[in-house]
Amino acid sequence: MALEEYKRKRRFEETPEPPPKVESKAGHRFVVQKHDATRLHYDFRLEMEGVLKSWAVPKGPSLDPNDKRLAMQVEDHPVSYFDFEGIIPENNYGAGTVMVWDVGTWQPLSPVPIEGKYVPGTEAEAAAMLAKGDLKFRLKGKKLNGDFALVKMKGRRPGSKGNEWLLIKKHDDSAVEGYDIDDYDESVLSKRSLAEIADDAGSKEWRSRPSGSHGKLKAAWLADAVAKLDKKKLEEKNTGKKAAKKKQKN
């Protein structure tokens, strides 16, 4: 998927989300964002090929190998989306509260295990596995660690768009039986809960530092976007005042 779809779905003069840009520098980060939109879900993203390859996981990732989590592949996101935490305004695509639930790095694994164990793979192997629909990788995050696989579902259900995958934890030292994701409702960036982010008006601005810190907005494009929103609100306020004065004169 290309960033054109990401761009098509958003009005960047109204949302604090970053504009589309494909990065030329390769990276191997991952992020999981807890997203309270129409339905609460988790967005699992892998930095790959200059973008964030993205899947919406309704029940969230699990460290229990017995859990096979449905993961719906969605449009690629820009790498700058990595630390987006805040509120997407109403009447915009994905409107709701976003928390950075986990961050870290990921490593592709060779598709063929050696002596029963998966070993680090290459960029080419990762691209081939993704295209094939069976991507194996290792996570090193603040909450998620160990070996995982994203496996594309072959059988298409009625009404399916062919974007259904399964996110599966492999058996290793990081596995946790009976893992309950609801026990971990805290941002790894700001240490706030989803409810606390939702109640924080300042979350409508994308800041690079946790709540409570002060400083300029993270990027020039965001400062411009916020300035445009402020200008729009000021114009609406002034228009309202003029209308009220005109009404009083009449």
What is residue 160's predicted lDDT score, i.e. its pLDDT?
Answer: 65
What is residue 115's predicted lDDT score, i.e. its pLDDT?
Answer: 81
| φ and ψ at residue 168, rounded to 5 degrees | -125, 130
Phi-psi region of 231 (alpha: psi -120 to 50; beta: other; left: phi over 0): alpha
Alpha-carbon separation of residue 9 from 15, 162, 203 (angstroms): 11, 20, 21
| φ and ψ at residue 213, rounded to 5 degrees | -85, 160
What is residue 215's predicted lDDT score, i.e. its pLDDT?
Answer: 35
Q: Which of 6, 13, 11, 17 is nearest to 206 (CA)?
A: 17
Q: Round to whole Å and give the CA distance between 190 and 247.
A: 47
Average pLDDT of every residue of the chain = 83
Is the model more confident about 231 or about 206? 231
Using the predicted structure, report yes or no on whether residue 112 has a pLDDT greater than 70: yes
What is residue 132's predicted lDDT score, i.e. its pLDDT?
Answer: 95
Min mean pLDDT across 68-77, 135-144, 176-185, 215-224 is at: 215-224
Q: Round to whole Å and give the CA distance between 65 and 67.
A: 5
Q: Which pair of tokens denotes residue 235?
A: 């114009």
Q: Which pair of tokens denotes residue 62?
A: 């699990």
Q: Round to whole Å and give the CA distance between 185 and 168.
A: 21
Q: Round to whole Å and give the CA distance between 250 and 241.
A: 14
Q: Model confidence over 19-63: pLDDT tens digits?
A: 888 887 778 999 999 999 989 999 999 999 999 999 999 999 999
For residues 221-239, average pLDDT: 57
